[in-house]
Amino acid sequence: MPEPTRLVWDLPAAPRETGLKLSQASITTAAIRIADAHGEHAVTMRRVAKELGAATPMSLYRYVGGKDGIVDLMLDTVFGEIGLPQQPGPDWRDSMHTLATKSRVALRRHPWFTALCHQRPLFGPHALAHNEWSLTALDGLGLPIGTTMAVAGMVFGYAVSYAQNEAEEDRMRARIGVQSDNELHDLAAPYIQRITADGRYPHLSQWIAEGAATAPADLFTLGLDCLLDGIQTRIIDGS
């Protein structure tokens, strides 16, 4: 087991007397720019230092402590981009809709988030504010705090899971050289015609023949409504 390292939140954002025009903010911006363009695996101390014009990757360590510190800052920046209202509204369900929908939009802008968010403790200030907002939105339900946190986790977890699925589908299309569902359908058309003609998959064949494409945002909302219905019935009404 590796030795615990000092969290980036314990380090000064801009150490004094370094002689460099660096900061946690500039390092984070560069790292996110790299990850957005080339994926999370492209973010290395060396690559970020080069992006910033620093002479050596070692010059970044005073600011972030190491690669894990950069990842922590990247993740927390995305939490800050979610853009929740200053305070949740009076209806818990509307607030959870807002949280999940805005979270999905932010995570879709940064597909690497879902690949990294389970690798680090989410202790940054924006993540803490996100959690506090969720708990405040659910506060009036009279649930134990542990249950309240579980409900908040279910809702945000749904947004993360959905965004991760969308990101992986985007990567799959890129790997096989298509950009849309229509292009994928055209690519697979000969195979689809064969499997719908042999009679072994009647329900799938019916869906292929009759099913209308549903926008991802609409599917997301449907799943979210089902989740909130279950929370209402199982946890709130059943408590």
Burial of 219 (0-12, 13-18, 19+ CB in 10 A): exposed
**What b/e sequence results for 180-195 when a residue is b if at least 16 CB atoms lie within 10 Å of its CB, and e otherwise?**
eeeebeeeeeeeeeee
CATH 1.10.357.10 range(s) for the chain read: 83-236
In CATH, what class is 83-236?
Answer: mainly alpha
Whether residue 135 contacts residue 93, with contact meaning beta carbons closer than 8 Å, is answered with no
| CA nearest neighbour of 9 among 78, 52, 86, 71 | 71
Q: How far apart are CA 92 and CA 210, in angstroms?
A: 37
pLDDT at site 163: 96
Token pair of 127, please? Answer: 């993540």
User: Where are the domain boundaries for CATH 1.10.10.60 in the chain?
Assistant: 8-78
pLDDT at res. 45? 95
HSE-up of residue 173 (Cα within 13 Å, Cβ side)? 15
Q: What pLDDT, on the 0 to 100 scale, is given for residue 81?
A: 97
Nearest to 21 by CA among 47, 64, 52, 67: 52
CA distance 150 to 131: 11
**What pLDDT shows up at residue 15?**
64
| Distance between CA atoms of residues 15 and 24, nearest Å | 9
Per-residue pLDDT of the chain (239 residues; tens, 9 = 90+): 555 567 898 887 766 655 567 899 999 999 999 999 999 999 999 999 999 988 788 889 989 999 999 999 999 999 999 999 999 999 999 999 999 999 999 999 999 999 999 999 999 999 999 999 999 999 999 999 999 999 999 999 999 999 999 999 888 888 889 888 788 888 888 888 888 888 888 888 888 887 667 888 999 999 999 999 999 999 999 86
Q: Are 100 and 159 in contact (CB under 8 A)?
A: yes
Tell me the angle at which helices 67-81 and 125-138 cross, rounded to the nearest 10 degrees.
Answer: 40
Q: Distance (Å, rounded) from C-alpha 43 to C-alpha 100?
A: 27
CB 208 within 8 A of CB 184: no
- 8 with 73: CB under 8 angstroms? yes
- Specify the residue for token string 């003609």: 197
Among 198, 192, 80, 165, CA closest to 129: 80
How many beta carbons lie within 10 A of that of residue 197, not counting itself? Answer: 9
> pTM above the 0.85 mark?
yes
CATH of 8-78, one of 1.10.10.10, 3.90.1710.10, 1.10.10.60, 3.40.50.360: 1.10.10.60
